[in-house]
Amino acid sequence: MAERVRIFDTTLRDGEQSPGISLDVAEKLEIAEQLARLGVDIIEAGFPVSSEGDFEAVQAIARTVKGPVIAGLSRTHRADVDRCWEAVREADRARIHVFISTSPSHMEHMLHMTEEQVLAETRAGVARAREHTDDVEFSPQDATRTPLDFMIAVLRAAVEAGATTLNIPDTVGYGIPWDFGALIQYVRREVSGDYVTSTHCHNDLGLAVANSLAGVQAGARQVEVCVNGLGERAGNAALEEVVMAIKTRPDQFPGLETGVRTEELARASRLVSRLTGYPVQYNKAVVGRNAFAHESGIHQHGVLAERTTYEIIDAGSVGQTGSQIVLGKHSGRHAFSDTLAKMGLTVQGDALNAAFTRFKELADRKVQITDADLEAIVAEELGTSVEQAFTFEELEVSGGTVATPRARVVLTRSGEKLEHTAEGDGMIDAACKAIKEATGVDTRLTDFNVSSVTGGVDALGDVIIQLEAEGVKVSGRGVSTDVVEASARAYLNAVNKLLRVRGRKDARTPEATP
């Protein structure tokens, strides 16, 4: 019997702390459903005390997502722990993840606490969590910069108070694989009790995955990861890389396995990228679009003769083979929703109508429609079903090398038609300006990224735009065979999201963010 390495996904908590990411409850639910389909063991759904929005999202995920354990993060304060429990309690299996900083730097500059106080807080927080559930995780934040003796004392206190998982965070990505592995080994030797050892590695030195794997080799049986390696600063260990390393090198991880259905990795990656607005770099391991592309003639020749000459992973085993679906412009709504269901996408009501209309438009412009194309338009329409102040209706542009670029947009707001024309440096600029004027929402464009969903001259252009206004950053995504239209849709989606974020009374307080 193989031994399980538990995959603890923190995309919705640590991943969501990446700058510019702000997910709605509906978006978090969609990601959580995909994580469940992927087969992760634990989903850290958020930090309930940090905002009303986080609480709601964790509670919604706990109520509806079946399969994984649903965890919430909590400081050691009694009120935080109780709030966390309130959010996760309706899950079939719920976990409270309690943390406190233990490094001298954090204790002096952030907590203003002595070692005795941190020990007392640890005991109190974990014990309170145990009054609610018997699944309690404890993390000494900034463990890799904590003196060993003190870290061991804190971990022992946590186990005595009832912690069942001890997580060792490399909060600032300071670890080096052999050193981090030795740390895990030391914890396992020095702290007795019935607990699972876990790793939580950040990527500041580009070593998060290597450190996590060193931890597994040293006895950790839980790894904390994010899809696409999202997370604070340079991110967390990438889920897909950790999982595929364990699967691909059984000689290095003998008798170990994860429960991840690897064929779902590419879809999870695309979904997270689309909803967070964080593009996946082309040469990203496992899920990057070039991860299975062979450019050199010698490599191409080798792979055609025998795949394993230059590939250690079968693209199909990670869901990286876009199948050509057989929907065309004559396909009806029934065939359309049937195909979506087969792809694991549940779309109903207005979102289904809107997605079907977009599909028909696309079928008129594009000969071959792939799973990835369908996913892209459905995701955009699911986004638009959330609560949109403005709806995109029409776009007309003119320009070129001699004429001044000009754009006319038509939007609607609560049934009222808004039409505006603007000039710009280019057609995309003109379209965004026209939307800015039509909506009256003043923003600064901070990032613009365009890529194609698939290859070919009629490929869908996929545009991600980041906007900033009064310190709030949001992203929007749009797809179309026309990149100007994709840009206008992305811009409007970002404006709508900004209005939703502003409308919430739940902005997170910086001090309540770990």
Q: Give me the residue label for tokens 């549940």.
A: 346
Q: How far apart are CA 108 and CA 113, in angstroms?
A: 7
Q: Is 356 in the site for ligand KIV (CB under 6 A)?
A: no
Nearest approach, Cβ of residue 50 and ligand KIV (Å):
11
SS3 497: helix
Nearest to 463 by CA among 492, 489, 431: 489
Nearest to 87 by CA among 98, 96, 77: 96
* Exposure letters 65-98 (e unless 16+ CB within 10 A, then b): bebbbbbbbbbbbeebbbbbbbbbbebebbbbbb
Q: Find out whether 473 and 467 touch, Cβ atoms under 8 Å.
A: yes
Q: How far apart are CA 90 and CA 65, in angstroms?
A: 10
Q: Give me the residue label for tokens 């545009």.
A: 463
141 binds, among ligand KIV, Zn ion, none (CB under 5 to 8 A by kind): ligand KIV
Q: Which of 141, 262, 276, 481 binds ligand KIV (CB under 6 A)?
A: 141
Helices (H) and strands (E) in the chain, counts: 16, 16
Q: How far apart are CA 512 and CA 514, in angstroms?
A: 6
Q: Is 462 in the site for Zn ion (CB under 5 A)?
A: no
Query: What are the DSSP E strand ranges found in 348-460?
Result: 391-398, 406-413, 416-423, 444-452
Q: Is 380 in the site for ligand KIV (CB under 6 A)?
A: no
Any idea how long the chain is? Answer: 514
SS3 29: helix
Q: Is 138 in the site for ligand KIV (CB under 6 A)?
A: no
Amino acid at 112: H
Q: Is 253 in the site for ligand KIV (CB under 6 A)?
A: no
Measured from the CB atom, the residue of 73 and 245 that comes closer to ligand KIV is 73
The site for ligand KIV, by CB under 6 A, has a size of: 10
Q: Is 139 in the site for ligand KIV (CB under 6 A)?
A: yes
Q: Is 137 in the site for Zn ion (CB under 5 A)?
A: no
- How far is residue 282 CA from its own chain's centroid? 17
Q: Find out whether 87 and 72 touch, Cβ atoms under 8 Å.
A: yes
Nearest approach, Cβ of residue 200 and ligand KIV (Å):
5
The site for Zn ion, by CB under 5 A, has a size of: 1
436 binds, among Zn ion, ligand KIV, none (CB under 5 to 8 A by kind): none
Q: How far apart are CA 366 and CA 378, in angstroms?
A: 16
Q: Is 14 in the site for Zn ion (CB under 5 A)?
A: yes
Q: Is 169 in the site for ligand KIV (CB under 6 A)?
A: yes
Amino acid at 96: I
Nearest approach, Cβ of residue 24 and ligand KIV (Å):
22
Measured from the CB atom, the residue of 128 and 267 that comes closer to ligand KIV is 128
Footprint (CB under 5 A) of Zn ion, residues 40-99: none
Measured from the CB atom, the residue of 144 and 443 that comes closer to Zn ion is 144
Q: Is 16 in the site for Zn ion (CB under 5 A)?
A: no
Footprint (CB under 6 A) of ligand KIV, residues 95-124: 99
Q: Is 461 in the site for ligand KIV (CB under 6 A)?
A: no
Q: Is 72 in the site for ligand KIV (CB under 6 A)?
A: no
Nearest approach, Cβ of residue 154 and ligand KIV (Å):
14
197 binds, among Zn ion, ligand KIV, none (CB under 5 to 8 A by kind): none
Measured from the CB atom, the residue of 14 and 56 that comes closer to Zn ion is 14
Nearest approach, Cβ of residue 224 and ligand KIV (Å):
7
Nearest approach, Cβ of residue 286 and ligand KIV (Å):
23
Q: Pattern of binders to ligand KIV over 185-224, x per CB under 6 A?
A: ---------------x-x----------------------
- With 0-12 / 13-18 / 19 or more C-beta atoms within 10 angstroms meaning exposed / middle / buried, residue 500 is middle
**Upper half-sphere CA count for residue 147 (Cβ side, 13 Å):** 7
Residues binding ligand KIV (CB under 6 A): 14, 73, 99, 139, 141, 169, 171, 200, 202, 514
Residues binding Zn ion (CB under 5 A): 14
